[in-house]
Structure 1
């Protein structure tokens, strides 16, 4: 029996590779991205088994719109895979006033996770896989979550990854009695699209990194296993197939509650 999966950032890199693999095994896939050309290409490659939804998920309003459409069009969703990110050498702010990386790499993943709980809970073994690089020990600047005081691309990405770890903690705590499992996933250094806007030095460094990175095809099997056979625990974390400890101080319940309060204030909820 075929399943239905939603993939943010699904037209490039790991998201696109996973979408193709899911279609090949007979599943339905909804991919969300910003580029209609890439979306049409993926739909054509999959002979219509993939559905493309155009959206700029760095905007809170777009996340809410997409969630409403998905809930209306797909009453049962078996899995949500969160891959969307866009890196910038220089700090940028969205039209809604949020730092771009914070908005896309954290707020979007929060809004999509909680927004799709309804159709996920109707699936037999629902799972959310957040591809965000869990377990990194970068300190959280609680008084500067949006890197307004000092912006550095690498620091901003690592810190936002920490926020996703805490998102997983809070989601699992709130929904531990339900069927949805939350998985934090680290693909390791992978030759993805490295979508972003970079200064020349950063662009050159990323090209070198990409040339030495493993292909997307090395990552997809681990994701397929997690989607096909989700872990039993409400929250788990993996570096490819190696399970990480989610009971360390990096996954603090107090910190996750603190982040939830700050996020609610920012979103006005």
Structure 2
């Protein structure tokens, strides 16, 4: 039976590689991205494959766009078998979205919070539904609760700190929905040569190019991700670095901290609810 998978950041890098693997074997990949040209190119590839693909243009740095995607996609696809969260965009200099959020916080964290919780009903109709949050679980980076949106901004630190929020998002999700069928998986792909989408100053740009030259291709990350999509772990929350398990029974995955972040997040989003 054909399965439906939603992939954010699906026109580049890991997201696009996963989408290709899915429609190449006969599944349907719903790709969310910002560039219609890249979306069209991926659809042309899917046209010659056993499966299918669709492209959903959206700026996921906006909470309103995430809510629109949740409404439209769950209406079009009442049953969703998996959600793969890949979208992020590096900013050397701090940028604020039109909704008033720091851009990295909005795209890399708030979007994944909204989509994770917002697609639960459709995911619960799948046989073995799973959310894969592609980030960097288990990094021992302190959270500055007084500055969650990086007023004191450093692009690299903001990216890694926001990655810590995903650990707590996974804990929060499992706490709310763990008795249901949806499994939450935090996934660290390791150094991978992707598009490295972002706006870089010159030194950071040179560093990124060096990293791309030595990193593994995105296609090498596909097998463990597709393996998780096909056979999710039994636990409500798990974490992996490639094929290797990462423990989630430690202070980095504190339920107390997870509840605190979830409460703050909901308060931030509430005035913008539509």
Partners of 1:217 and 1:116 lie apart in 2 by: 27
The residue aligned with 1:70 is 73
Instruction: Spell out the pairing of 1:39-78 with structure 2 (5 A cutoff).
Output: 39-47=39-47, 49-78=52-81
Task: Give the C-alpha shift of residue 268 in structure 1.
Answer: 1.6
2:101 aligned counterpart, secondary structure: coil
Q: TM-score, normalised by structure 1?
A: 0.99
The residue aligned with 1:18 is 18
Task: Give the C-alpha shift of residue 127 in structure 1.
Answer: 0.2
The residue aligned with 1:247 is 249
Task: Give the C-alpha shift of residue 264 in structure 1.
Answer: 1.2
1:102-128 Cα offsets, whole Å, 9 max, x none, are 000000000000110011000110000
Instruction: Spell out the pairing of 1:10-159 with structure 2 (5 A cutoff).
Output: 10-47=10-47, 49-148=52-151, 150-159=152-161
Partners of 1:14 and 1:71 lie apart in 2 by: 23
CA RMSD between the two structures: 0.8
The residue aligned with 1:176 is 178
Partners of 2:20 and 2:264 lie apart in 1 by: 37
Gaps of 5+ in 2: none
1:125-171 Cα offsets, whole Å, 9 max, x none, are 000000011000110010000001x1111110111000011000000
Partners of 1:175 and 1:10 lie apart in 2 by: 26
Gaps of 5+ in 1: none
Partners of 2:265 and 2:65 lie apart in 1 by: 17
Q: 2:215 aligns with which of 206, 213, 216?
A: 213
- Number of equivalenced pairs: 268
Task: Give the C-alpha shift of residue 224 in structure 1.
Answer: 0.6
Q: 2:261 aligns with which of 259, 262, 265?
A: 259
Partners of 2:102 and 2:135 lie apart in 1 by: 18
1:143 aligned counterpart, secondary structure: coil
Partners of 2:185 and 2:136 lie apart in 1 by: 11
Task: Give the C-alpha shift of residue 205 in structure 1.
Answer: 0.4
Partners of 1:217 and 1:69 lie apart in 2 by: 29
Partners of 2:159 and 2:213 lie apart in 1 by: 21
Q: TM-score, normalised by structure 2?
A: 0.97
Task: Give the C-alpha shift of residue 88 in structure 1.
Answer: 0.6
